[in-house]
Amino acid sequence: MPRLIMRRGPTPGVVYELTAGEITIGRGRKNHIVINDNEVSREHCRLVRLVDDYELQDMNSVNGTFVNGLRVVSNWMLQPGMLVELGDSITLEYERTPFSDDRPTEFISPIGVISGNGTKPIASPNGASSTTVTEPEQEIRHCLMMTMGPTVGRVFFLSESIITIGRDLANDIIVQDPEVSRYHMRLRRTKTGYTVEDMGSTNGTYINGGMLNQPYNLEVNDVIRLGTMVQLQYIQQKSEESDERVSNTRTTTEAARDDTLFTSFMNPIAAQRKLSRLGTGLQPGALENHVFIAYARDEWESVIANLILSLQDAGLNVWVDQYLVQGSDDWRAAIEQALLECWLMVIVVSPNALASNYVKMEYRHFINREKPIIPLIHHPVSPMPPELSRQRTLMYDAANPRKTFHKLIFEIMQLRR
């Protein structure tokens, strides 16, 4: 039976079993699948049954419908393993052959969403029969260790039921290498560990030297190669040993509702200044002397714009993400280049900023690569994320912003020496 699994969104892990001939998805209550998220239009997209699978149609949504990162502009026939994105914050995975797990299930009938026990939508299994996936023993963790690639020696801890690996920022494990596809491979949790399968990658997935053509049950010390330049080893670690390392694996919940990525800074108040044109056309290395600014977009006028002008007055190159169209190819290319090349990050801390999972991804990327970060506390957050609380912070003085910016510039200059 075909189904959709919510990987990012307000209810991560929920399964929608698809049975009706036509299914609509949107924010409005009349849809068969209702998703309450601001990125989702009232009537966002439609699924039409064709034999064993479904054809996806966008319904003139504001923020777009995407399949494996490509915008849907005409009818798109779904195949198992494809990822459907609604705007920037919702990701659904399409499957035809379900496997037993402990996630809540909703059946889509012609009259709407019906839970497994015949009632309205549910938020938990509610007693419905299901097979619970056995967790690995508490003292042992399943991991992937990068033995060749951009972050050799990094350990990725595996705990989610489904984990995707690729170059795109929507993946659970992000590997920034040209030979890695946007959505390269997928891991599925089993009772004994994980299976691995290729997601139609361009350069292929290999297990112990052989090309992966079908799902494979991983065994300890198996070597996974993505293309020719990235290699991961499947290992097990004791909890005490694992806790000493920092994981770069994002959970499904952490990946939900990301609200801001990279764009160009072309604000009228600074039109005369020399700013980086972010998008396509930048040469490799063009952002190596830039300071990355991470922030909440709704605080642009109140603090961010003046902060950037002050940094530029001090002769610093800055990189921000205010106006590029989210989800476009330029947008994705810009974030990849800025993450790799900017040497320092200033994160303007506020509840709104830390609620953005893209902001979380950004500062974790810097921390994982041991790049310097300066948290500027615009509005205090309690508790502060542990990763940021260990950094040297500056408090924003609303009564005297210039003094705050001068302190920040001094800190940046000290780090630059």
In the structure, what pLDDT confidence band is assigned to residue 34 with cuts at 50, 70 and 90? very high
Cβ partners under 8 Å of residue 111, min gap 6: none
Higher-pLDDT residue of 326 and 137 is: 326
Tell me: pLDDT of 352 over 70: yes
**Mean pLDDT confidence for 225-246:** 69
Higher-pLDDT residue of 380 and 336 is: 380
Q: Distance (Å, rounded) from C-alpha 24 to C-alpha 46?
A: 4
- Determine contact, residues 198/212, Cβ cutoff 8 Å: yes
- Cα-Cα-Cα-Cα dihedral of 283, 285, 289, 290, to 10°? 60
Q: Residue with structure tokens 């009818």?
A: 75
| CB crowding 271-284: b at 16 or more within 10 Å, else e | eeeebbebbeebee
Highest averaged pLDDT of the listed ranges 191-195, 256-260, 326-330, 375-379: 375-379
Share of the chain above pLDDT 70, in %: 76
Tell me, what's the pLDDT at 6?
A: 87
DSSP per-residue codes, 287-299: TTTEEEEE--GGG
Tell me, what's the pLDDT at 198?
A: 94
- Determine contact, residues 230/179, Cβ cutoff 8 Å: yes
Tell me, what's the pLDDT at 104?
A: 46
Highest averaged pLDDT of the listed ranges 159-168, 208-217, 351-360: 208-217
In the structure, what pLDDT confidence band is assigned to residue 123 with cuts at 50, 70 and 90? very low
| Global pTM exceeds 0.75 | no
Q: pLDDT tens across 38-77, in order? A: 889 999 999 998 877 899 999 999 999 998 878 898 888 8
In the structure, what pLDDT confidence band is assigned to residue 322 with cuts at 50, 70 and 90? low
Record the tokens describing residue 195, joined without a space. Answer: 């299976």
In the structure, what pLDDT confidence band is assigned to residue 323 with cuts at 50, 70 and 90? low
Crossing angle of the two packed helices 305-313 and 401-416, in degrees rounded to 10: 50
- Cα-Cα-Cα-Cα dihedral of 180, 183, 185, 187, to 10°? 140
Tell me: pLDDT of 264 over 70: no
Higher-pLDDT residue of 322 and 14 is: 14
In the structure, what pLDDT confidence band is assigned to residue 252 with cuts at 50, 70 and 90? very low
**Mean pLDDT confidence for 368-397:** 90
Tell me, what's the pLDDT at 175?
A: 85
Residue ranges and CATH numbers for the domains of the chain are: 2-96 (2.60.200.20), 141-237 (2.60.200.20), 291-416 (3.40.50.10140)
**Mean pLDDT confidence for 76-102:** 78
Letter for the amino acid at 97? T
Tell me: pLDDT of 112 over 50: no
Highest averaged pLDDT of the listed ranges 19-23, 116-120, 148-152: 19-23
Q: pLDDT tens across 161-193, in order? A: 899 998 877 788 988 777 888 889 999 988 888
Q: pLDDT tens across 283-315, in order? A: 788 888 899 999 998 888 889 988 988 888 788
